[in-house]
Homo-oligomer: A and B are copies of this chain.
Amino acid sequence: MYCATMARTKDPKVRSLLIEKAAQMLRARQPVTLRTLVAGTGVSTMAVYTYFGGMDGLWRAVRQEGFTRLAARLDAVPTSEDPVRDLAALGAAYLSNAMAHPDLYRVMFDAGFDLEDPSAADETLHCLVHTIDRAKTAGRFHGEVDPPELATQSWAIGHGLASLAVTGPLTHQALVHGVPMLTALFISAGDDPAQCRRSVELGWQPPSPS
């Protein structure tokens, strides 16, 4: 039986401070270990256990943070009146995020999606699905297109390129493969080839003030 009385409440600042520092050390390519993590923060190694239950819990929280940031980045992609262009912009933002935080991206995808909130994957796909819906109602995609399915396929393209570029043999500039690959996928979903090419190329580069 769980007793609700609490004598002391965890400080959420410490929690986010540790996650933040872990992400920062990851970015600086410093080895993130229990002792190096708490060094300089004033808190002790035990804090990691009261807040996360151990290093596994910390990494789980860091992964969650990675997906949260990714979702925020995708949500920040502006919406135009061309849904296919917006789809390409989402793909470009996905890859841009992965290349900006390569080590965080790598951490997000090892240890098999062991997240605090397992619906993070759905969240990531949500704006993709929504934009595909818009493309359908706009008549760009034909009726048999299943939005979650096409979103998954777009994700697989983005993740495949990001993964091969972050941890593999592809260079950063190889990410432009995203343009022909997404174009091919969207054409197969029913979009007009010429229009699709234009939309994807427009959405791929950052929104220019035209």
> Could you list which residues of chain A lie within 8 angstroms of chain B, going by C-beta atoms?
106, 109-113, 121, 149, 152-153, 155-161, 163-164, 167-170, 174, 177, 180-181, 183-185, 187-188
Q: Known interface pairs A157-B160, A159-B160. Does A185 touch B177 (Cβ–Cβ under 8 Å)?
A: no
Q: Establish whether residues B168 and A181, one from each chain, have CB atoms under 8 Å apart when the complex forms.
A: no
Q: Establish whether residues B113 and A167, one from each chain, have CB atoms under 8 Å apart when the complex forms.
A: yes
Which secondary structure characterizes the binding site on chain A? helix
Q: Kindly identify which residue among B106, B113, B121, B163 contacts A160, using a CB–CB cutoff of 8 Å.
A: B163
Q: Establish whether residues A112 and B168, one from each chain, have CB atoms under 8 Å apart when the complex forms.
A: yes
Q: Known interface pairs A180-B188, A184-B185. Does A156 touch B152 (Cβ–Cβ under 8 Å)?
A: no
Most interface-central of A110, A121, A169, A187 (chain B CB within 10 A): A169
A159: B residues at CB distance < 8 A: 160, 163-164, 168
Q: Known interface pairs A110-B110, A160-B159. Does A170 touch B187 (Cβ–Cβ under 8 Å)?
A: no
Q: Known interface pairs A106-B110, A109-B163, A187-B188. Does A181 touch B169 (Cβ–Cβ under 8 Å)?
A: no
Q: Kindly identify which residue among B169, B177, B183 contacts A188, using a CB–CB cutoff of 8 Å.
A: B183
Assembled-state Cα–Cα distance A37/B110 (Å): 23
